[in-house]
Amino acid sequence: MFKPLSMVALLSCFAIGFANAAINQTKGDFEDKFRQLDESLPTPNVYRNAAGEPGHEYWQQQVDYQIKAKLDEQKRRIEASEQITYHNNSPDTLKYLWMQLEQNKFRNDSMSAMTTTFGGIGNRGPATASASSDKPAQLSLGALRRQQFTDDHDLGFDIQSVTDSNGNKLKFTIVGTNMRIDLPRHLKPGKKTVFNIDYAFNIVEEDAVTARSGYEHFPDDEREGGNDIFLLAQWFPRLHAYTDYEAWTNREFIGRGEFTLEFGNYEVELTVPADHIVSATGELQNPKNVLTSTQRKRLKQAEDAERIVFVVTAEEALENEKEGTDATKTWKFSANNVRDFAWASSRKFMWDARGHQQGGDDQPLVMAMSFYPKEGGKLWEKYSTESIIQTLEVYSRFSFDYPYPVAQSVNGPVGGMEYPMITFNGPRTELQKDGSRTYSQAEKRFLISVVIHEIGHIYFPMIVNSDERQWTWMDEGLNSFLDGVAGREWDPSIPWGVEPRDVVDYMKSSNQVPIMTQSDSVLRLGPNAYTKPAAALNILRETILGRELFDFAFKEYAQRWKYKRPTPSDFFRTMEEASGVDLDWFWRGWFYSTDHVDISIDKIYKLRLDTHDPDIDFARQRQEELDKPESLTDIRNKAEGRKLWIERFPDITDFYDENDRFTVTNKERNAYQKFLSKLKPWEKTALERAVKEDKNYYVLDFSNKGGLVMPIILELTFADGSVENQYIPAEIWRRTPKAVSKLIITDKDKELVSVTVDPHWETADVDVSNNHYPPKIIPSRIEAYKTKKRSGKVYRDIMQDIKTELKTYDEDDIEEDDNN
């Protein structure tokens, strides 16, 4: 099946291979895929050392907030004041402070609004349709709704005053979504300053503008009056981070790049309608003032319950919806060592809770809680809080014990967003005509996966505090990898989107940019920031390092940077230093390039040792001659019954009718003995052993068509039906990254019949058609694993559809159904 060569030919084959390499790798053409990454990374220093650890002079700022806010439900407006204490832990003297004003993004004169393109790649939310050259431009109703909402409302922060601790006005300058506060006295290292801001803003309707927070209005129906759910995030002016690697991280907020923040302590008072239930970052400080005795009792019961306990039941929430009130209550929350604060408020909320007993000294009890309206129904009741606890169990195994007292999932208009101790998650049930609520399998899967993902974000980046606006993959990619681990331990049949096979289409697309691209410049955020880095880490864990080395190194990274601010270089260096494996080639290929994986097996040569023993070699040559296909002419002559001349006249024969060119004579035998006599003892021993073992020698030729070097994973199938796997490290490409050859030796009874590269699709190889030798017919890779995409609410709701009665149709019925 494979082309046989002699051992002499084997040596010739290698000589030719190296000669070709010398020809192909001409001056300037060689690309070192294994060049050390430290040449591209920031130089280690006293703040971040060469091992990827915080240096001995590592520092970060601290910002503490005291906030009092009131929700005006009728006006859908926040009125608030905050006192901010800024601790300068840096070695630098600061002349001014930079604040984040993310609500200003919704202003019509914001950079986000002015630079939004009409259609095109990368648009999110109710964007306009693509204005391609061969189709007329179209404007969606969603785009019209957004434009009308922003025109009709005064959006953005209303900064009413900025004063120091003595009430003196401070000069401030608003620059888009940023605000610079000029300090009357320079803030020296080790000192702190206190100042106050009074502000307000009108809350956006999330469904109209597609935001990370906002309100959702539920219109009147036959069961209760319309009400709102309020999700509040990016709701107060916050300090930009001041870092050792960039100083002020005051990049304009356009919408995609998330938030870079400082840790601090929060004391927050939230005044809301008295019949609202509030979920927030932190621990509730005044339960006796805002909860009934029954609710407090239920909350206590939930601490050691085996399943959820309702603090506010569905019936109580439904009754709440029917009433309105002008009275208010003030909920007080305290949160220590967090980098942000978010909250939710509504009279629609039911509230369930269950204690997660994780043990340990820091936070042995964590209250997992979910807040959702009746629209969440049994879907939320069954899966939200349980998904929280599953996340805490798995993520803690890979990092550290969850350090906060609560972990919350809140249903509202935001599809999925994370903040310290609280997450916003979107899926819910559908009200049917019979009054029941059902949900599709897709909605069930979405809820479980989004809760795991967003709760996972509390670890990354809410605790391991990476710079999301600059390096989106450091929170989304790492978190997507871990939510895939947690998710597959929940239900592996859910498509988690983190397998190598999930990224192949993107890796060969023309819209790819390097993972290290800043978030606002990424063309396709989903595959670039989520899927590709998650798949890369999955490959690193399962294929390159193995679970033991990877898990140790990843946990070391998480614990080193808990409550600190890592950069990509810190992650790369930690993973190498803690695993003991040089991964520079991996980071270069996967994170800094747009190369893809496409390793082709081009040829296989079967080699045979020339023993120089004529009795062995001539017999082999005779058999090789006999094994060649028989001449078609000879086959047809036999079929016609034609006899050979020597068969017709056997008396006319000679010596050569009994002996051929493969007949051995003593001349050849004497030459063989002379050859042996000239061998050194070790040469003779090696030759005799090789002759005795009579092994098979195969040379496999590979080419790297995608440019991304990866290990070569082989499945070898033998004539006896056995199968063996072989792993060749990526370093095989270090000298010739475009093509390599590999010698494989097998026992004489293990004859190779076929070879498959990457048999389990674990390297994200984009073209499996060239992964087989001999070539084989393979089904479409896309059809083999990719489910059909659906848009909008067109998922099959089997829970509802199964109730459908079987009908017998006549023409009138068909016409009536078509009209409906």
User: What is the full DSSP assignment across 432-478?
Assistant: -TTS-EE--HHHHHHHHHHHHHHHHTTTTTTTS---TTT-THHHHHH
* Token pair of 152 as six digits: 């009709």
φ and ψ at residue 273, rounded to 5 degrees: -50, 145
Per-residue confidence at 274, pLDDT binned at 50, 70, 90?
very high
Mean pLDDT score, 261-286 = 98
Nearest of 602, 603, 601 to residue 4 by alpha carbon: 603
Nearest of 325, 321, 326 to residue 350 by alpha carbon: 321
| Helix 377-398 vs helix 473-490: crossing angle, to nearest 10 | 110
Mean pLDDT score, 171-187 = 97
Q: For the segment 631-669, what is each residue's pLDDT rounded down to a tens digit?
A: 999 999 999 999 988 888 888 888 888 888 999 989 989
Distance CA 737, CA 773 (A): 21
- Given a cut of 90, whether residue 258 has pLDDT beyond it is no
Cis amide bond preceding 237, omega within 30: no
Per-residue confidence at 53, pLDDT binned at 50, 70, 90?
very high
3-state secondary structure 593-620: CCCEECEEEEEEEEEECCCCCHHHHHHH
- Given a cut of 70, whether residue 815 has pLDDT beyond it is no
604, 772 Cβ separation under 8 angstroms = no
pLDDT, position 255: 81
* Token pair of 817 as six digits: 């159904």
Mean pLDDT score, 192-205 = 97
Distance CA 422, CA 635 (A): 81
pLDDT, position 136: 72
Distance CA 285, CA 335 (A): 10
pLDDT, position 578: 98
- Given a cut of 50, whether residue 452 has pLDDT beyond it is yes
* Token pair of 752 as six digits: 């190779």
Per-residue confidence at 146, pLDDT binned at 50, 70, 90?
confident
> Hey, how many other C-beta atoms are within 10 angstroms of the C-beta on 456?
29
pLDDT, position 607: 86
Task: Read off the DSSP letter of residue 677.
Answer: H
- Given a cut of 50, whether residue 166 has pLDDT beyond it is yes
Mean pLDDT score, 481-485 = 96
pLDDT, position 149: 85
pLDDT, position 802: 78
- Given a cut of 80, whether residue 488 has pLDDT beyond it is yes
Q: Flag the least confident range among 78-82, 264-268, 533-537, 800-804.
A: 800-804
pLDDT, position 818: 54
Helix then strand count (H, E) for the chain reads 24, 33
Q: Flag the least confident range among 113-122, 423-432, 684-693, 742-751.
A: 113-122
pLDDT, position 754: 96
> What sign does the dihedral 159-160-162-164 (CA atoms) show?
negative
Mean pLDDT score, 93-121 = 87
Distance CA 477, CA 263 (A): 22
- Given a cut of 80, whether residue 324 has pLDDT beyond it is no
Q: For the segment 570-594, what is each residue's pLDDT rounded down to a tens digit?
A: 999 999 999 999 999 999 999 999 9
3-state helix, strand, coil in the chain (%, to 5): 35, 25, 40
Q: How many CA atoms lie within 13 A of 90 on its CB side?
A: 18
Mean pLDDT score, 78-95 = 98
Distance CA 90, CA 93 (A): 8
pLDDT, position 257: 81
- Given a cut of 70, whether residue 503 has pLDDT beyond it is yes
DSSP string, 80-107: EEEEEEEE--SSS-EEEEEEE-GGGGGS
Mean pLDDT score, 149-170 = 94
Q: Flag the least confident range among 318-322, 330-334, 769-773.
A: 318-322
Mean pLDDT score, 374-380 = 94
Mean pLDDT score, 242-257 = 91
Distance CA 492, CA 470 (A): 32
* Token pair of 58 as six digits: 């590592």
pLDDT, position 112: 83
Percentage of residues in the chain having pLDDT higher than 90:
69
pLDDT, position 85: 98
Class of residue 713 by CB neighbours under 10 A (exposed 0-12, middle 13-18, buried 19+): buried
H/E run at residue 624: helix 614-627
Mean pLDDT score, 468-491 = 94
Average pLDDT, the chain: 89
- Given a cut of 70, whether residue 2 has pLDDT beyond it is no
pLDDT, position 812: 59
Nearest of 737, 731, 726 to residue 702 by alpha carbon: 737
Distance CA 543, CA 540 (A): 6
Alpha helices in 101-237 (DSSP H): 111-115, 141-152, 206-209
User: How open is the CA angle 554-559-564, to the nearest 5 degrees?
Assistant: 115
Whole-model pTM: value is: 0.88
pLDDT, position 609: 80
Class of residue 350 by CB neighbours under 10 A (exposed 0-12, middle 13-18, buried 19+): buried
Per-residue confidence at 605, pLDDT binned at 50, 70, 90?
very high
- Given a cut of 90, whether residue 284 has pLDDT beyond it is yes
711, 546 Cβ separation under 8 angstroms = no
